[in-house]
Homo-oligomer: A and B are copies of this chain.
Amino acid sequence: MTPSPDSTTGLKRAQILQGALEIFLRQGYEGTSMDRVAAAAGVSKITIYKHFEDKEGLFTALIEQVTAQRFNQVFGTISLDDHPDQVLRQIAQKFLALLAVDDEYVAFLRLIIGESGRFPALAQLFIRSLPQKVWRSLGHYFDSHPDLAIAHPDAVARIFTGTLLSYAMTQRIMHGQHIAPMDPDLLIDCLIGLILAPQPTPPENL
């Protein structure tokens, strides 16, 4: 009998994933060698192959784990009960604040986007795990607040999250913050202002 099939074994597994995270985030998928992962994890290489099918399996498991665990950090602590202005502001500030600080998350986004051609399922997993949840939550929130007079909640949710994601994209992921700076608070103010302002002429009339 294994000493503790879900704790000792689980520990090695977690240890491997931790080492793999370091290397994959810094070197990318093709740039990562299993020897380096083994060294970073403090584990014999063959142990990795005991726990994971192959390099692709390790990568998949890693992304699945990180994807699942990161959601709460961004969106788990938002209360949808406050004033709309406050709700939107909280989400926006939390997301941008996280990205301003968390280099690991930035590297993670680079990795999953860069490999989305060869690992489409992982990219879709990410979409379902983060942006889609935000789209849905915001959509329902707008739906349940008819006083906001938002004609197309889904589209507005995309505009809101899209602005934030692209800010992260250009400023942090692609190193634009030094060559084209932009005050995040001003952006948030403007974005919320556009969304919550009364819309006298609905988009259908354009």
A-to-B contact residues, CB < 8 Å:
26-31, 85, 107, 110-118, 120, 123-124, 126-128, 131-132, 135, 151-152, 154-156, 158-159, 161-167, 169-170, 173-176, 179-180, 182, 186-187, 189-195, 197-204, 206
Contacts and interface: CB of A to CB of B under 8 A. Distances in A.
Contact of A124 (B29, B151, B167, B176): B176
Contact of A166 (B30, B107, B114, B162): B162
Contact of A113 (B110, B118, B128): B110
A127 B189 contact: no
A26 B115 CA distance: 10
Nearest to A136: B180
A151 B191 CA distance: 12
A200 to B, nearest CB: 7
Given A193-B202, A194-B159, A179 B132 contact: yes
B174 A113 contact: yes
A32 to B, nearest CB: 9
Contacts of A123: 173-176
Contacts of A176: 123-124, 127, 131-132
Contacts of A187: 155, 158-159
Contacts of A201: 193, 197
Contacts of A204: 189
